[in-house]
A and B are shown apart, each in its own frame.
Chain A
Amino acid sequence: MEPIEQIRVRAETAVPGAKIDIVPNPGPANQLSLLIDSAHATDVARFLRDDTALRLDFCSNVTGVDWLDRTVKRTSKVKRVVDGEEKEVDESAEEKIPGYLEAVYHLYSMAHKHGPVVIRMRTTDRGDDARLPSLTPVWRSAEFQEREIFDLYGVHFDSHPDLRRILMWDEFVDHPMRKDYVPPDDFEWEPTPHDEVLARAKQHYTPRPQLDGAEKITTQPQS
């Protein structure tokens, strides 16, 4: 298969106005992925599917990722005059990146037996009305998995044929795979809680001691 940089360039020329970035992967796999802007996502996806050299006709997996607000420290070498002498100095700048939700698609070609090509789309924020274009019209196999992302991450897929919850019930309002989701406190905490579990256990036992009578919970003695 052609290198991902070439795919990016060809896709950008094939779809006028599309903006595609390559997302670096610092892990040992170094699997790069294409970040596609939402406005042109469907056209880019059609190109990836129909292009004779690529023919990515099989979408094997769609998954969601929740990125919280984060600050990234970047260090860069800057030339600066220190004590009348020019030196290279490390300068670190903090960059605040607002959170967003992401949908990741893994594409393969059955016709050419190659792949995967990983494409990503990002929402603008993590709000209740996070939107992305649906790629189900391009790859039918994305239907249920986009429903799953809608269910668990709360991403609304525009032009999805049947956007309903798939795992949780319809009356459910939360999105459990979001990182700030707080699960219902509906069970008895273990007899010997510690650390974070202790904090949650304390929270659990104060308001409703009638459920298991374990209201006498205290901190474990420090040794």
Chain B
Amino acid sequence: MTQQIDEQLRSELQRQGVWVTSMQELYNWGRKNSIWPLQFGLACCAIEMIATAASRYDIARFGGEVFRPSPRQADLMIVAGTVTKKMAPQIVRLYNQMPDPKYVIAMGACAISGGPFKQGYNVLKGIDRYIPVDVYIPGCPPRPEALLHAFMELQRKIDDQKLTGANKAEHLNAAQPSEFPVPTFGAHDLEPSANLAVFRPAKIERT
């Protein structure tokens, strides 16, 4: 474990040509620098995501350029755009088909909360109602820099994940569900309208 080796000793060894590391560090280093996002876009945010993947912003510099057309080969789901209620079950289904460990970035106001369409009848008020979200990016749409920032935040998050011990990463916990219930089309709304096991909105104090 990294905590068990003295940082000073480590850098001293490194100067002498001996590189000391841990399985966890090596493993996370590999994972965080090769994140394969799932290739799908839902609205205008997708255009920014495409720009991020293209030459000018170039997400390849961070190891995230391999957009996969299949959820079974993807690690990261970038929910880029407005999720309509008609689309929401498919998003959850795609998420369920991704292998663990998997991460979700909610990109833009719509994916976070419904955005400008929040009071509409047909838009899901945030994808975090059905699947756990790791990084939220505000913006309408967020600039490619914001997506890159979120990507780096996610890399930091992956780097901090523990492989062993009491607070090991969630995906290593056998009890942690990797599939989430897919909502069904109801007569008036999606049923259920939120998965309460996942969805924990902030408490708003009102006076």
Q: Is the CB of A188 within 8 A of B204?
A: yes
List residues of chain A with CB within 8 A of the CB of B114. Answer: 187
Interface flag for A22 (CB, 8 Å): no
Chain B neighbourhood of A183, CB < 8 A = 119-121
B207 within 8 A of A: yes
Docked complex: B111-138 residues within 8 A CB-CB of A: 113-114, 118-122, 125
Q: B193 to A184, Cβ gap below 8 A?
A: yes
* Residues B185 and A169 in contact, CB atoms below 8 Å apart: yes
Q: Contact between B185 and A174 (Cβ–Cβ < 8 Å)?
A: no
Is A172's CB under 8 angstroms from B187's CB?
A: yes
Q: Does B201 contact A (CB under 8 A)?
A: yes
| Docked-complex contact A186 and B185, CB < 8 angstroms | no
Query: Using a CB-CB cutoff of 8 Å, which residues 66-124 of chain A contact chain B?
Result: none
Number of interface residues of B (CB under 8 A): 25
Cβ distance A149 to chain B, nearest Cβ, rounded Å: 16
- Counting chain A CB atoms within 10 Å of each CB, the highest count among B201, B202, B203, B206 belongs to B206
Give the nearest-CB partner of A188 in chain B.
B201
* Pick from B122, B193, B204, B207: contact of A167, CB under 8 Å: B122
B194 sits at the interface (CB 8 A):
yes
Quick check: B186 and A171 within 8 Å, CB to CB?
Answer: yes
Number of A-B contacts (CB under 8 A): 60
Helix, strand, loop or mixed for chain B's interface? loop
Query: Given A183-B121, A186-B193, A187-B125: A172 and B206 within 8 A (CB)?
Result: no
Q: Does the CB pair A186–B189 fall under 8 Å? A: yes
At the interface, yes or no: B157 with Cβ under 8 Å from chain A? no
Q: Are B201 and A169 in touch, CB under 8 angstroms?
A: no
| A171-B185 Cα distance, complex, nearest whole Å | 6
Q: Is B72 an interface residue (CB 8 A)?
A: no
In the complex, what distance in Å separates the CA atom of A212 from the CA atom of B201? 6
Give bound CA distance, A214 to B119, whole Å: 18
Task: Give Cα distance in the complex from A83 to B207, angstroms.
Answer: 64
**In the assembled complex, B188 has its CB within 8 A of some CB on chain A:** yes
A42 to B68, CA, bound (A): 50
> Which B residue sits closest to A197, measured CB to CB?
B119
In angstroms, Cα B119 to Cα A148, docked, is: 21
Asked whether A173 lies within 8 Å of B188 as measured between CB atoms, the reply is yes
Whether A171 lies near B121 (C-beta < 8 A) is no
**A212-B204, A214-B203, A218-B207 in contact; A172/B185 too (CB < 8 A)?**
yes
Could you list which residues of chain B lie within 8 angstroms of chain A, going by C-beta atoms? 85-86, 113-114, 118-122, 125, 185-189, 193-194, 196, 201-207
Further 10 A-B residue pairs, CB within 8 A, beyond A174-B187, A176-B122: A171-B186, A172-B188, A173-B188, A176-B121, A186-B193, A211-B201, A212-B201, A212-B204, A218-B206, A218-B207
Binding site for B on A (CB under 8 A): 167-174, 176, 181, 183-184, 186-188, 191, 210-214, 216-218
21 contacts between A and B (CB under 8 A): A169-B86, A169-B185, A171-B187, A172-B185, A173-B187, A174-B188, A176-B122, A183-B119, A183-B121, A186-B193, A187-B113, A187-B114, A187-B119, A187-B125, A210-B196, A211-B194, A211-B196, A212-B201, A213-B204, A217-B206, A218-B206
